[in-house]
Amino acid sequence: RKRVRIRHFAQAKASGEKITALTSYDVQTARIFDEAGIDVLLVGDSAANVVLGLDTTLPITVDEIITLAKAVVRGASRALVVADLPFGSYERGPEQALDTAVRFMKETGVAAVKLEGGERSADVIRRIVDAGIPVMGHIGFTPQAEHGLGGHVIQGKGETGRAQLLRDALAVQEAGAFAVVLEMVPAKIAAEVSAQLEIPTIGIGAGAGCDGQILVWTDALGLGSGRVPSFVRAFADARAVFLDAATAYRDAVKDGTFPAASESFSDPTAD
Ligand code: KIV
Ligand code: NA
C-alpha cells in the first residue's frame, strides 16, 4: 500500500477518483482509518470541539494540535496526514504563518498544513508553499471566522456569494495550494467551483459534485452526543457501542462476574 502523496491529488482529479478524508486526533483512530484506506487524515482544529469540549475552534493552540498530530502521524502508514494551523497562528502574515508551518513540519511529521481563507490568505499560502510545504486551502464557511461571519452560515449564496467563492477558490489555487476544502456551500456552486479548478475540492456540506469528501470522524461514526449538522451521515452508532460496553463492564464489576478465573493470574507453587 503506497503512501498517499501530494501528486496523487492531481491524478485523482484527472481520473475522477474521489478523495476520501476524515479527521483524526489520536493514534487509535489513525490506525483504523489508515487501514480502511482513507486517503487523508486531517488533524483538524475541530479537536477544540471534539477532544477538548470547547464551543468554538478559536482557543486551541499550536502546541495542542502538535501533540495530537504526532500521534496521528504514528498511526498512519498510507494516509496523507494534514494538520490545521489554528486561529492566531498565521493571521499576522506570511512570516508568522511560515514560522508556524515550519514548526508543524519539524515537530510532527505531517505532510501538509491547512489554513482558512481564500483571497485574504493567498499571500500566506504562497509563502508557505514557496518554502516547500504543501498547503490545503479551506474556503466557504471557515469556523475560525465564525464570529465575523455571524454564526454557522452557508456561504456562496446569491450572485455576490457565488462570485466571492469563485474568487477565493481561484486565489487559493493561484497561491499554490494542492487541494481546497469547501465547507457549507450550495451543492450547485460547489460543483461549479470544482469544475473550474485544476486542484481537487474536498467538500463538507458542499454536495456530491466535489472531488472528495471530508467529515469530522465522531460525526461520521456516530460518536458525538451533541447536535449534528444536517450534512452529516452517521455510518455507525459508535456512541451506542461505547455506552453499551461501558455499562456492561460496570455491571460485570458490580455483580462480581468480572474478572473470571481465566482473566486472573494463578500461582501454581501456592495452590
Ligand atoms: O477542523 C476540521 O475538522 C476541519 C474539517 C471539517 C474540514 O477543518
Ligand atoms: Na479546521
pLDDT in tens, 36-78: 999 999 999 999 999 999 999 999 999 999 999 999 999 999 9
pLDDT on residue 1: 84
> Residue positions in the annotated binding site for Mg(2+)?
45, 84, 116
Q: Is 146 a catalytic residue?
A: no
Q: How large a percentage of the chain has pLDDT more than 90?
A: 97
- Our answer on whether the CB atom of 219 is closer than 6 Å to any ligand 1 atom is no
Q: pLDDT tens digits for 73-109?
A: 999 999 999 999 999 999 999 999 999 999 999 999 9
User: Which among 173, 125, 178 has a CA at the least distance from the CA of 10?
Assistant: 178
Q: Read off the pLDDT of each residue in 188-205 and give the average, rounded to a whole number.
A: 98
From 91, 183, 198, 263, active-site residue? 183
pLDDT for 270: 85
Which tens digits make up the pLDDT trace of 2-37? 999 999 999 999 999 999 999 999 999 999 999 999
The DSSP 8-state label assigned to residue 256 in this structure reads: T
CB 90 within 8 A of CB 97: yes
b/e map of 229-260 (b: 16 or more CB within 10 Å)?
A: eebbebeeebeeeeeeeeeeeeeeeeeeeeee
Q: What distance lies between CA 1 and its chain's CA centroid?
A: 22
Q: Is the CB of 121 under 6 A from ligand 1?
A: no
Confidence of residue 110 (pLDDT cuts 50, 70, 90): very high
Q: Where are the domains of the chain?
A: 7-237
User: What percentage of the chain carries pLDDT values higher than 70?
Assistant: 100
Global pTM? 0.97
Give yes or no for residue 271 having a pLDDT over 70. no
pLDDT at residue 258, rounded to an integer: 98
134-138, 227-231, 256-260: least confidently modelled range:
227-231
Ligand 1 pocket, residue 115 CB under 6 Å:
no
**In contact, 204 and 231? CB cutoff 8 Å:** yes
Eight-class DSSP state of 103: H
Q: Which atom of ligand 1 is nearest to the CA of 23?
A: 3
Least confident of 62-71, 93-102, 176-185, 223-232: 223-232
Q: What pLDDT is attached to residue 225?
A: 78
Q: Does domain 7-237 have CATH number 3.20.20.60?
A: yes
Q: Any idea what DSSP says for residue 79?
A: S
Looking at ligand 1, which atom is closest to the CA of residue 181? 7
